[in-house]
Amino acid sequence: MWSILLPAFLAGTSIAEAEPAAHRLYTESIAGLRYNPVGLQVRSTLYSRHRLMDKPKDDLLFGDTWVGIGPTFAASPAFIRGGVEARVVPIALLRLTARWEGVGYFGTFDQLLSWSATEVPLDSSNDLSVCQSDPAACGPVDYSEGAMETLSSQGQHYPTRGWQSMGEARLQAKAGPIAIRNTLGAYFTKIDLRDGDIVFYDLTSDILMANAGWTLVNDADLLFVGVDQWTFGVRHSAVHALHGDDSAADQWTHRAGPLIARAFKGSRKFRKPTVYALPQWWLKHNYRTGAESSQAIPQLIIGLGWSGDLLAKGG
């Protein structure tokens, strides 16, 4: 998830890259702008990276196996994040990532808004017992953009802090110019909400998230990487906040669309800078498939990803 505002598309398109040294101080960074919903984010991670196997760089399975750990940082106009990330690539087909980071919300851009349940009284009484005695008197939390703007104008948003942990697995393969990959992440989030509140709107994933609960994020890509430094493909993205109550918030959201990227040569410390665009049309969402905005309006992400080696060659 862009823990990230952006999907995980970092600089470089090859499945296995040359590994010139047993130890590297290696960075991965990404910056991007998003529309529908609007967002801006920058993330950078620094790995102390060590080779796992002493294999030739052209070994398709074991030529780029490594383990790394280091600090990670992300910032946007709405929040700031920082923590530690670990990654292991035991084989070229598999990448495993774990992350823990603290998060602080500034109280800007309708962040943070929270509620006491996923189903609330329609009369705004906040008496949840009504929902048990008369379900028809209650409805799903309205986290549409219009509703959140109204709540924010009433002073309902507030700055706060918390933390998030993440585990992610990516499976990937390449045959000739065709590459496929699937990235599944599980996120556990705990935020200091107002007394009595248990759910909040998360701008990054564009969902109503369960506090002290899990969210699943999956990105599936089919890519064509055989045209010079260009990559063309299609991505399907799905997000599910696990509330466990089968409410309107306890559902998968889906979107799909083309992915276009162009890599440039760069330098050792600014390695393979890659510009990309990812327009995705909403296939399922409580508010973006006609309820509030037209399904014809895609989510559009435009960004730049790059990596770098900070140690001298052969270090």
pLDDT in tens, 87-130: 999 998 999 999 999 999 999 888 899 999 888 777 766 666 66
Domain ranges in the chain are 23-105+166-309
Give pLDDT, residue 137: 72
pLDDT in tens, 183-206: 999 999 999 999 999 999 999 999
Rounded Cα–Cα distance for residues 66 and 274 (Å): 23
pLDDT in tens, 251-298: 999 999 999 999 998 887 788 899 999 999 999 999 999 999 999 999
Q: What is the dihedral of CA 148, 149, 151, 152, to 10 degrees?
A: 120
pLDDT higher than 50, residue 49: yes
Give pLDDT, residue 12: 40
What's the pTM value of the predicted model, to 2 decimals? Answer: 0.89
Residues 6+ apart with CB under 8 A from 17: 64
**Tokens encoding 198:** 């248990």
The domain made up of 23-105+166-309 has a fold known as Porin (2.40.160)
What b/e string do you get for 76-108 counting C-beta neighbours within 10 Å, with b at 16 or more?
bebbbbebebebbbeebbebebebebebebeee
% of the chain beyond a pLDDT of 70: 87
